[in-house]
Amino acid sequence: MNLARLVGAVALLALAGCSQGTPAAAPSAPSAPPSSSSPVAVPTGAVPAEFAAGNVRIALVRQLSSGDYFEQWLAGAQAEAEALNVKLEVSSGDGNNDKQALNLEQAVTAKADAIIVDHGFAQTVQPAIKKAVAAKVPLVAFDVDPGTPEAVALTQDDHQIAEQALGALKADTGGSGEVVYVYVAGFAPLDRRNETWEQFKRDNPGIKQVAQIGVVNSSTAAAVADQAKAALQAHPGVKAIFAPYDEFAKGAALAVKELGLAGQVKIYGADVSTADIGVMTEPNSPWVATSATDPANVGRIAVRAAALLVAGEQVDRALTVPPSLITQKGLRDAGITGVEQLTRAFPALTTPEVARVPWPAS
Ligand code: SR1
């Protein structure tokens, strides 16, 4: 079992009381600081000279940058880069795959010390990733298949994300009823969550998907709200919406509220942010459960993995970050209003062992 998997298993045990269905609650109060639940070796190695001198440049090449998830992820990556004295050179395709591929080519040409590719479609980023590998530029691919074993592939455990959210949906619906599903194909994390949804439907024949909606753009939540309204009006018997991306869930929540269906339709989502917590905990919110990692923590891991590769350290070729199930009831019971409070209450959301850097960071 690799370290990330082990962390996942420990996290699941720690959350066993709140990982099955809506009724479970988060810890009633923040119990202990994160470090006490996951002992981390004190870094003792010397800071590599290029890091001490501030000469390390890591290019972060993003497909998307708008939305809570991507903003928090970037904040974490920037904080880790600062702690490691690394220059993080950030570009975004703003949803345009060709622009992202061009940015990636430019990072290779500009001889970055390492590259992080954040999302993207395999067919548009893999040709430039090949060039990076040929040029011996170390590469970390987050949420996109790099198509080469030379790169480190970083993911959240997307199957578990879907399993946790769907476990809550099943507990609340008794495993039967009409469901609207929000999905866009081609995004690796959504495709993996979709595999779990397909299996879930096979295992639970009482669950009927009556509509599939979804769009990813710079105003995803608003677009999904319009689609969800139409789907709910066309299918008045819907009990649940499976919306495994927070922009999807926010859009679905807006639609349910605007149609006055909050007592009838519940939403099961993915991801978490302070704004999401606000939506989940407001009175009559239909968004009752979300399965999430801490996006800032994942951004930090990406930068640590890239820094380790620059320093010639060993890094597992597959790094997987485990999620936690967060319920509306748990958030309300614990009085959690923001992500900082959440990570104190759910220490499993912080995973300093994953891609640990063996030298002291500032
Ligand atoms: C459009 S893909 C959105 C997903 O990427 C990350 O994996 C987040 O979890 C988000 O749900």
Mutate to test the pocket of ligand 1, among 144, 160, 190, 276 (most ligand atoms within 8 A of CB): 190
d(CA 59, ligand 1 centre) in Å: 20
Q: Structure tokens of 336? A: 């959690």
**Residue nearest ligand 1's atom 2 by CA:** 187
Mean pLDDT of the chain: 90
For 284-304, letters b (16+ CB in 10 Å) and e give: ebbbbbbbbbbbbbbbbbbbb
Task: In whole angstroms, give the CA distance from residue 188 to residue 194.
Answer: 10
Residue type at position 252: A
Q: Which atom of ligand 1 is nearest to the CA of 245?
A: 11
**Residue nearest ligand 1's atom 10 by CA:** 245
- pTM to 2 decimal places: 0.90
Q: Is 70 in the pocket of ligand 1 (CB under 6 A)?
A: no
Q: Is 61 in the pocket of ligand 1 (CB under 6 A)?
A: no
* pLDDT above 90 coverage of the chain, percent: 87
Q: Is 270 in the pocket of ligand 1 (CB under 6 A)?
A: yes
Using an 8 Å Cβ cutoff, are 249 and 243 in contact?
yes
Q: Is 142 in the pocket of ligand 1 (CB under 6 A)?
A: no
Mean pLDDT of 62-83: 97
CB atoms near residue 72 (< 10 Å): 22
What are the CA-CA distances from residue 31 to residues 26, 37, 191, 272, 316 (Å)? 11, 10, 36, 20, 31
Give the DSSP per-residue string, 87-153.
EEEEEE-TT-HHHHHHHHHHHHHTT-SEEEEES--HHHHHHHHHHHHHTT--EEEESS--SSTTSEE
Mean pLDDT of 75-92: 98
- 205 secondary structure, DSSP code: T
For residue 23, is pLDDT > 50?
no
